Amino acid sequence: MSPDQSANHTDTNHRQFTPGNFAIDEYRPIRVAVIGAGISGIVAGVRFPQKVPNVELTIYEKDDGVGGTWYRNRYPGLACDIPAHCYQLTFEEKKDWSGLYAPGTEIREYLQGIVDKHKLMRFIKLRHEVVGAQYNEDTGKWHVRVRHIDPDTGVRSELEDVVDILVPAVGVLSRWDWPDIDGLRDFQGELHHTAGFDPKEKTWQEVADDWKDKKVAVIGVGSSAIQLVPAIQPKVQKLYNYVRGKTWLAVPFASNTFATLLDRGPDGAEDYRFSAKEIERFKTDEDFYRRFRTVMENDMNSMHAATLRGSNLQEQATQLFEANMRRKLVKKPWIAESLMPTFPVACRRLTPGPGYLEALVEDNVEFVQTPIKRVTKTGIETIDGQHHELDIIFCATGYDTSFQLPFEIVGRKGVHLNDKWQPHPTTYLTMCVDEFPNMFMVLGPNSGIGSGSMLIMIEYEVMYAVQATLKMQRERLKSIEVKREALLDFDAYLESYFPKTVYSEKCRSWYKMGAEDGRVVGLWPGSALAAVKAITYPRWEDFNYETSDPTSNRFYWLGDGQTYSEKTMTGDRAWYLREEFLDIPPVPTGYRTM
C-alpha cells in the first residue's frame, strides 16, 4: 500500500460513523414563538404552518386584538397614507376599499378577516405580553417569559415557553410617550395622545359629535397630525395647530394615475373616494382590478430616484410639492412660508395628507408656529405670552424610535440586545444579530421602506425566517447564528450608501431616531424592490452552525437513506409529478432550425 493509499484509508476509517435511524424527511418538531400579532405576526401565522412541517407555533400579543398599530390607533382621521391597493398582502386581495387611502377601520377589518380565514387564533394568544427572552447555549433554546392578564378576573400570571426559533415582530412605531412640555399633566380638559386615543365602544365620529362647541389643540405636524386636523376641523368650534418644525406635504401618491385608470376627468383626481360603481367594477371585472393594482404598484415602485441627492426626480418633486402647497394655502400664504422646509423632499417621512392644507385655511383654524412655553390648567401658553383657552388637547408627537425594546432579549454570554444596540442598532440584513442565535426579526432596524409599500418587505422577511427554520429542521441543527464579520460588512454598506441620499440631510426624522443629524437606522439602504431581491435567497455561508446530533459529520441528517413515505409505505411517492412541483419550460418561438 502506497503512503497516499495508507493516508486515505486512515482518513476514511476516522470518518466512518453510524447513520441516523430516521428518514431524511422525518422532521423533528420545531417550536417557534412570534412576538406580536400585527401584520408581521399575521403573515407569520399564515406562512409558518403552510411551509414548515411539524411546526408548533405560538404568537404572543399583549393587546386585546390583532392588527398591531392598526388595532391600537383609533384617532380621528386615521388612514393609510399610501394607496389601499398597494397596502395589502400579495396573497390576500381586497376589492372593496372605500377610497384610495383606506381608513383605519377598514384596515383592521381586513387584517381580522385574514386571521379568521386562515384560523390563526389557534396560534395567537391575546393579552399575553412577552417580558423577556433568554438564549440557553447548552440546549440551543430560547426561554421566553410571558405575562398574562386574565380578562375576567384581572389576575396576572407568568409562564415560560421554551422554543427553537424566536421571531420578534413588534415593529418600530408601536411605543409612544407624552411630549416633554411643562405643565402638560396640569391640564384640566381632555388630554389625548393620538396613539392612545380610545373612543371606547363608539366610533371617533360619534365621539366628535360632542365637540362642536369645543376649542381643540393639535400639537405636531407629523403623519398623525396631518390626518387628525382635517378630520376634526369641521366638527369643532376652534382648532389650533401648534407646529414646531417644517414639513413637505406630498402631492397624493399616484393620484393622476388613479384618476386615469378610473376614466375620471381632471376634476376627479382629488376625489379619493371610490364610487359604488367603481367598487362594483373592481369586484366583478378581474382584468380591470388586476390592471389597476399592478399599475398602482408599478407607480409606487418608480419613486426611488426621488430619494437620491440631486436627482432629476428629486428636483421635480420639490417643484411640484412647493407649487401644490402654495396653491392650496393661497388664502393664508404666510403658512406656506412657515411650513415649507429647506431640507429636501423625503428627508423625513412623506405623507400626502389629503385635506390638511385645505383645513389650515379655514376660518376656524389657527396655525401657531410660536413655540409652546407651557400647558396651563385651561390651555396653552406660547413663549410670546399668548394664551389660548382650550377644552381638548391632542398630542400628535410620534413614537419612541430608539429601537430600545420594552423587554429584555439576552443572547450568548448574557449579552443584552438593548446594550448591544447602543448607541445605535446594528444588524445583518435588518433581521439577524450576532450572539443571538435562532432569532430572526421582522421590521427590525433599517427595514423601513423609503419608497414603496412596507407590506412586501414584511412578507419577504417572514419567508426568510421560514427558510432559516426549514434549514434548522432539515439539517437537524442546534443553532444558526450570523457571523460577526457578515454583520459588519452589511453595516459598512449602510454607512457607505446613505450619504448619497436625502435621508442624510439635516432634518429631524424618526429615520434617525428623532435626531436632525446622525445615522439612519429606520430605512433599508435602497429601494423596496432591491430589498426583496437581497433577502429572497439567504446567504447560508454568512452563518455559523451547531449540530444537535452526537456526531461531527455534516451529512448525518441524510438519515437512513429513504423518505418517510417509503419507510412507512404511506403518502405520495410520486409527489414530484404534482402541479405545484412542476416547472415546465416555455417552448422557444421565432427560431428556425437548420
List pLDDT tens digits, range 30-67: 999 999 999 999 999 999 999 999 999 999 999 999 99
CA-nearest of 85, 452, 450 to 302 is 452
Q: For residue 559, what is its C-alpha cell?
A: 438519515
CATH 3.50.50.60 residue ranges of the chain are 30-173+402-484+542-547, 190-251+303-395
Domain 30-173+402-484+542-547: which topology? FAD/NAD(P)-binding domain (3.50.50)
> Which residue, chain included where needed, has cell 404572543?
60
* Cα–Cα distance for residue pair 520/424, rounded to 1 Å: 9
Q: What percent of the chain has pLDDT over 90?
A: 86
Question: Is residue 300 within 8 Å of 453, Cβ to Cβ?
Answer: yes
Which CATH code for domain 190-251+303-395? 3.50.50.60
Summarize pLDDT for 248-261 with one digit per residue, the tens.
998 877 777 888 89
| Count of alpha carbons within 13 angstroms of residue 533, beta-carbon side | 6
In the β-sheet with 387-389, what is the strand arrangement from edge to edge?
A: 372-375, 379-382, 387-389
Residue 39 makes CB contacts below 8 A (sequence gap 6+) with 67, 68, 70, 89, 111, 455, 458
In the β-sheet with 215-219, what is the strand arrangement from edge to edge?
A: 190-193, 392-395, 215-219, 238-242, 365-368
Mean pLDDT of 107-122: 98
* Cα–Cα distance for residue pair 219/393, rounded to 1 Å: 8
Q: For residue 540, what is its C-alpha cell?
A: 447560508
* Cα–Cα distance for residue pair 107/117, rounded to 1 Å: 15
Would the pLDDT of 593 be above 70? no
Beta strands in 50-127 (DSSP E): 55-60, 124-125
Q: For residue 575, what is its C-alpha cell?
A: 409527489
Q: For residue 77, what is its C-alpha cell?
A: 382621521
Question: Is residue 339 within 8 Å of 326, Cβ to Cβ?
Answer: no
pLDDT-based confidence at 4, cuts 50/70/90?
low
| pLDDT of 402 | 86
Geometric angle at alpha carbon 455, from 450 and 456, rounded to 5°? 85
CA-nearest of 246, 350, 270, 260 to 306 is 350
* Cα–Cα distance for residue pair 127/134, rounded to 1 Å: 21
Question: Is residue 129 within 8 Å of 108, Cβ to Cβ?
Answer: no
Q: For residue 323, what is its C-alpha cell?
A: 407649487
10 Å Cβ neighbour count for 282?
21
How large is the angle between the packed helices 528-535 and 454-474, nearest 10 degrees?
0
| pLDDT of 3 | 52
Summarize pLDDT for 155-191 with one digit per residue, the tens.
899 999 999 999 999 987 778 889 999 999 999 999 9
| pLDDT of 5 | 55
Please indicate, yes or no, whether the overall pTM of this predicted structure exceeds 0.85.
yes
10 Å Cβ neighbour count for 41?
28
Q: What are phi and psi of 302, to 5 degrees?
A: -115, 10
